[in-house]
Structure 1
Amino acid sequence: MTTYDRILSPLTIGPLTLPNRVVLAPMGTEMGLEDGRSTPREAAYYGARSRGGTGLVITGINFVQSDFEPISPGLARADTDEHTAGLKGIADAIHAGGGLAGLQLTPGLGRNNQYYDAMGMEPVSSSDNPYFFDPTRICRPLETHEIDLIVQRTGEAARRAYEAGFDVIDLHGHTGYLVDQFMSSVWNRRTDRYGGSAENRARFAVECIQAIKANAPGVVVSFRISVDHLFEGGRTWEETEGIVKALEAGGLDMILCDNGSYEAMDYVFPPYYLGDDCMVSAAKAVKSAVSIPVGACGNITPESGEEILARGEADLIVIGRGLIADPDIVTKLREGRPEDIRPCIRCNQLCTGNAFFGKAIGCAVNPEVGYEAERIITQTDSPKRITVIGAGPAGLEFARVAGLKGHTVDVYDRADRVGGVLLPAATPDFKRELFRMIEWWEHQLTQIDTVTIHLGREITPGDEALDGADVIVVAAGSHPFVPQSIIGAEHAVDVLAFHEGAEIGRRVVVCGGGLSGADAALELAEEGHEVTIVEMEEEIARDMLMLNRVSLQRELDRHGVTILTQTTVTEIVPEGVLADGPTGTQMIQADTVITAFGLRPATELGEALGAQVLTVGDCVQPRKVGDAVNDAYELAFTI
């Protein structure tokens, strides 16, 4: 049994002693005001992670200057004294929770800033680089006096962080942002003191580090770095080694290591396709070259984090989305309750997905994210008897919250195990975190005395299980959908039946390239099947977040999956599929045809029971798991 002794052990860095090795990775929350000032809501979010035992809580991206780059409304800022009070609110909340507070400072995004046109500004970079969002445009290289001003602005922001009470300042140096553009030969072709050797390319970063130290005496300075950009011509370890040595020589106190860039965006927020510990190699490489503490990032669980520390590949375990999903990871480890840790399912739906569109982050499995001060479950003064029909994500989350409020809840499902549609969806190895989520719900519900699960029991109108219920909640899920225009659907296997173990031949055609169809195709290809996806739209997985699609597409290509887009299935026959595409009608040979055209809500039971019932989840409208979980929480919270 894992004891987590290493994760829970303290670590001294300069004048600071971290109570444990867990660090909240800096991630933007989009919870601030339009002018970039922090809010009590944001402070409560960070305070909850500290209260949950996290040793060092680092806030996400905070801009230090708008002299040469635009700052979009709503993005966090530390560039004026008016922002100090909000920053102090965050630091105070973190300290009140018992953790150390860190603030990430962002000198700029350079060629990766998408707001230049909206703010009437010219794109800038380290050299005359193509603008990421329009490669036909060339960025203006920053002049040396402009670099000096950015360094000055970084120091001024550090002073505000110091006055606000932060213990650590993290310099934002990864993902191909402005500091990274100076450090990387792919973007830095300067011939002045900021270009050429590794020491020169690191000079801008080092000057920022030294400006931070000069303006925030005693504060530990951290640095977030992308060790490998993971695109052709981008920086690799061979180049990064000289950079990290120059950073250490320049006074850096600790370094947080990951991989990726805008050209490999999925590594910045790694989805489930990338698996566990997907960037630990970055930390391992850096640790071999420096003597300062090194943090490892990338889909790390507490179990794998303990092993990483034991192998000496890192000194700190940096967790982002896992601490969004469960802010109490460290407390639960300390109390010997690792089974109570709510797993991150790595879907990126409401965390990264929201942030990409300028909305406050949420979480697919933790509906309290962003509402830490409001959504506090307390015992009700009027307990009710509640019958829940359906033990999928919506039914289980409703039962959990209602049970914690003190209601008596009976959950019925015709299946022999809880999980609903998540259960078959979790069969691929890359989706195993969904299994952990089902197990988490099972374990939570066994600890609530007023909740009882009844499996293998189908509820129909007039069933005695409905008698005496004060509230009836239908969470009956959905049914597979096949367009009526398609002839011969009886020759196909539904995608859920495939996940449930239906026999599948060597050659497989997957009809429908949405999330479920594409994931099924990848699972089959990984098992050695010859797979073709047929999709009527211009691209597959249109219902996916862009960065998730990047990973999916790469994995499908790597496993040789054929993708036919703008192609419509007209008939399914025993020999395969007839489809109309750009080149006309074609016959696609297959031993098995799988249909994945989507889902339709299972409305029958709710309609039969009438107006006295509440409905939630896919039986209202099939959506993603996060929508079902959040809707169920909100509904139960109001009862």
Structure 2
Amino acid sequence: MKLTDGVRLGAATAPSRVLFGPHETNLGRGRGISDRHVAYYAARAAGGAGVIVTETASVHASDWPYERAPLAAECGGGWAAVADACRPHGAVVLAGLGHAGSQGSSAFSQNALWAPSRVPDVASRELPMELEQGEIDELVEGFAAAAESAVRAGMHGVEIEAGQHSLLRQFLSGLTNQRADAYGEDKTLLLRDVLAAVRRAVGDRVVGLRLSCDELAPWAGITPEQAGGVVEAVAGRIDYLVVVRGSAMGTSATRPDLHTEPGFNTDLCKQIRDVVSACPAQPLVVLQGSVVEPEQAQQALDDGVADLVEMTRAQIADPRLVGLVRAGHPERIRPCVLCNQKCRVRDNRNPIVSCIGEPFSGHESGAPEPAPAARREVLVVGGGPAGLEAARVLAEGGYEVEIVEKDDRLGGTALWAAEVGGRGRLRRIVDWLEAEVRRLGVRVTLGTEVTEADLIGTRRDVLVAIGSVPGPRAYEIRGGLVIDVVDLLEHHAVPDGPVVVSDPVGDAVGVGVAELLAGQGRDAVIVTQDQVVGTQLALTGDLADANGRLQRAGVRLEKRSLLREVHPDHVVLEDTFTAQRRTMPCASVIHCGHRLSSPDLAGWPRAGDCVAPRTIHEAILEGRRAAHEITALVGGGVR
């Protein structure tokens, strides 16, 4: 069977074996499914997704896990709009339904969290209330009512959440279920009751189950062997099963970043599929686990690991994924690098789901229409992500484009970002952009620096995307060696002796450089003013894992410290709380601070780091915006 083949799920037929799974988007208005959701899901349906599961909606008002979390009671109209928008493309569209239980938030509801037992949540430390029979009955009825509402709205069915962030998983787990009643004696009882009630409510419509089959806490949590028993107990009530892992004990386990290899759940999924194969009723099995490449997804089907493959982040990066595979052009799929920088949005700032390589993801309802081609000429100065993206968009619009880059290769600072420890996948964005501009016939000139004199009088439109320069250093250099991180990653030699990584930013750069040095056998120290190293990594889910990697690698963590002086054989650090100073042996300092925009070619339209150095996402976004601004110009573009 091929990834692009259709597949039967219950009474419905999906046009491919690729699933777009439920995830937080912050696209909601209030607690309903919005027009932004509709455009977002419709784009994936148009791109060939076989099954689309909408953002998990809370089935009971007691559950309000994040500010814009959908509430099933308010989703009927939105579900209907999603179903209507996706129907012409043939996708099977399901409503995600769940309850976060003790992993929710009381900040919005200002009510006690629901849980099977009075066990404090390991992340929030909040003590929940223990459900009594009345609340349990309400919960079961809530699932049934939500499922009935979804199919009445035109959805093909529902997917029930019993994965990492769910009350149903909490009832299945010895970590959180310490009850002495029937729900404690038989931990599958609530899940079986919910699925039975949902099946009665939806009839022959699709019922899927997302199940945590390994909580990675074998001392009390769900193990793969125990999960097999759960599957045997519920197999007859579901049409498909999504195999996931994780619990509140390890929140990065279900959706890790690029440090975890794609397809990490393959062995677990195969183990559970073997259990399913022995059941009288055999639901289809879905592989989940950072699968972002069609080749790996197809291999899972060929090896009998699963019947369908979830490729959620891959379709955030490129909604056209299935269509491009079907057309025989998988090389044109925009890569997902698994960085979690813009698609992981459980954040009190409420960022909208997006992608560093495809900044219009999450913004489909407001994306500009391409302007008619005008056969004009455009010069893009700088071949980093901003320049490459601008050139790509302009060339697709029919413009004659030339990129001039002063270095001997394209990619700009994205290339050295990919050299940082554990972040090699970032190179795939640069490789894809370069392949696209060359496919589209963009003229590329390398090893040439453009000056102001070169631009005066040009009849071409000009876009400047020349990147950044090293930024200020808030410490005194008294004879010691300080190496900028870019110079280091461009293979600057580092002398023998202790290396201090100065990390005033707290993102992946300082942490990755320290890991890189430690991996080379160097005596590495990372200095941060924060109480935790790499604080910004909380946004991508890598904070705890990153600190663990640093300590296992032997990197010394100097927290709550400011670098004040650099000397030939030592540095002076200052405690951020007490201002007390201390010295530390040091042969060289690697500076991982903020950079500044390049001041060259001021006055011309600019994009990316030469506006303000930030991330690849902002560079690509501004490159695309600049391209659209050029296509909207009227006249010859003469300066």
| TM-score (normalizing by structure 1) | 0.91
Asked if structure 2 preserves the Cα contact closer than 8 Å seen for 1:475 and 1:619, the reply is: yes
Note if 1:329 corresponds to 2:330. no
State the partner residue of 1:633. Answer: 624
In 1, Cα distance between the equivalents of 2:620 and 2:448? 23
Give the secondary structure class of the aligned counterpart of 1:634: helix
**Aligned twin of 1:426:** 418
Q: 1:532 aligns with which of 502, 525, 537?
A: 525
1:183 to partner: Cα distance: 0.8
Tell me which residue corresponds to 1:109: 100
Which of 261, 266, 271 is the equivalent residue of 1:280? 266
**Aligned residues: CA RMSD:** 2.4
Cα pair 2:65 2:100 within 8 Å, conserved: no
Cα distance in 2 for partners of 1:341, 1:585 equals 53
319-328 or 506-515: which moved more? 506-515
Give 1:626 deviation, angstroms: 0.9
Matched residue type, 1:367: P
Distance (Å, rounded) in 2 between the aligned partners of 1:13 and 1:57: 13
The range that moved more, 371-380 or 558-567, is 371-380
* 2:388 is aligned with 1:411: no
Matched with 1:359 is 351
SS of equivalent to 1:222:
strand
* 1:64 partnered with 2:59: yes
Q: Which of 265, 284, 290 is equivalent to 1:293?
A: 284
User: Counterpart of 1:183?
Assistant: 172
The alpha-carbon deviation at position 553 of structure 1 amounts to: 1.8
| Unmatched tracts of structure 1, length 5 or more | none
Alignment partner for residue 571 of structure 2, among 566, 572, 577? 577
Cα deviations across residues 374-396 of structure 1 (Å, max 9, x unaligned)? Answer: 42542436554322211111111
Aligned-residue offset at 1:170: 0.6
Query: Equivalent of 2:36, from 26, 33, 41?
Result: 41
Deviates more, 1:116-125 or 1:37-46: 116-125
Counterpart AA for 2:524 = V
CA contact (8 A) 1:225 1:257 kept: yes
Q: SS of 2:182's equivalent?
A: coil
Give the CA deviation at 1:73: 5.0
Q: State the one-letter code of the partner of 2:320.
A: D
Distance in 1 separating the partners of 2:112 and 2:474? 53
1:15 and 2:5 correspond: no
Alignment partner for residue 493 of structure 1, among 468, 478, 483? 483
Deviation at 1:508, TM superposition (A): 2.9
Return the letter of the residue paired with 2:301. L
Q: CA deviation at 1:519?
A: 1.1
Give the superposition deviation at 1:399: 1.5
Alignment of 1:380-399 (within 5 A): 380=372, 382-399=374-391
Residue 596 in structure 1 maps to residue 592 in structure 2 = yes
Closer/same/farther in 2, CA of residues 111 and 541 from structure 1, 3 Å limit = same
The aligned counterpart of 1:248 is 235
SS of match in other structure, 1:615 = coil
**Aligned-pair identity (%):** 27
Are the aligned partners of 2:212 and 2:244 in contact in 1 as well (CA < 8 Å)? Answer: yes
Q: Is the 8 A contact 2:471 2:596 kept in 1?
A: yes
Per-residue deviation, residues 19-54 of structure 1 (Å, max 9, x unmatched): 3221111112222221x2222321121111111111
Q: Deviations 1:47-94 (Å, cap 9, x if unpaired)? A: 11111111111112111111x3347653222225xx322201111222
What is the distance in 2 between the residues matched to 1:74 and 1:569?
Answer: 41
- Secondary structure, aligned partner of 2:276: coil
**Alpha-carbon spacing, 1:524–1:306, altered in 2? closer, same or farther (3 Å):** farther
- Checking the alignment, whether the CA contact within 8 Å between 2:384 and 2:410 is kept in structure 1 is yes
Amino acid across the alignment from 2:563: V
Which residue number corresponds to residue 92 of structure 1? 84
Distance 1:21 1:530 in 2: 49
Q: Report what 2:190 is aligned to.
A: 204
Report the AA paired with residue 529 of structure 2: M
Describe the shift of the 1:466–1:307 C-alpha distance in structure 2 as closer, same or farther (beyond 3 A): farther
Letter of the structure 1 residue corresponding to residue 259 of structure 2? Y
Given residue 47 of structure 1, which amino acid in structure 2 is its aligned partner?
Answer: A
Tell me what 2:280 maps to: none
Provide, for residues 112-161 of structure 1, a one-character-per-residue CA deviation record: whole Å limited to 9, x for no partner. 111x24323122211112145652x5321111122112111111111111
Verify the 8 A CA contact 2:173 2:220 in the aligned structure 1. Answer: no
Q: CA deviation at 1:358?
A: 2.7
Counterpart Cα distance in 1 of 2:474 and 2:57? 52
Aligned residues: 617
Is contact 2:66–2:346 with CA below 8 Å preserved after alignment? no
Candidates 531, 542, 546, aligned match of 1:548: 542
What SS class does the counterpart of residue 305 from structure 1 fall into? helix
The corresponding residue for 1:230 is 216
Within the alignment, does 1:118 sit opposite 2:113 as a pair? no
- Alignment partner of 1:12: what SS? strand
Deviation at 1:333, TM superposition (A): 1.1
How far has the Cα of 1:484 moved from its partner? 5.4
State whether structure 2 residue 512 is matched by structure 1 residue 519.
Answer: yes
Task: Measure the CA separation in 2 of the matches of 1:575 and 1:561.
Answer: 19
SS at match of 2:422: helix
CA contact (8 A) 1:279 1:298 kept: yes
Separation in 1, partners of 2:207, 2:584: 59
Seen in structure 2, the aligned counterparts of structure 1 residues 572 and 44 have a Cα distance that, compared at 3 Å, is same
State whether residues 30 and 355 of structure 1, in contact with CA within 8 Å, keep that contact through their aligned partners in structure 2: no
Paired position in structure 1 for 2:45: 50
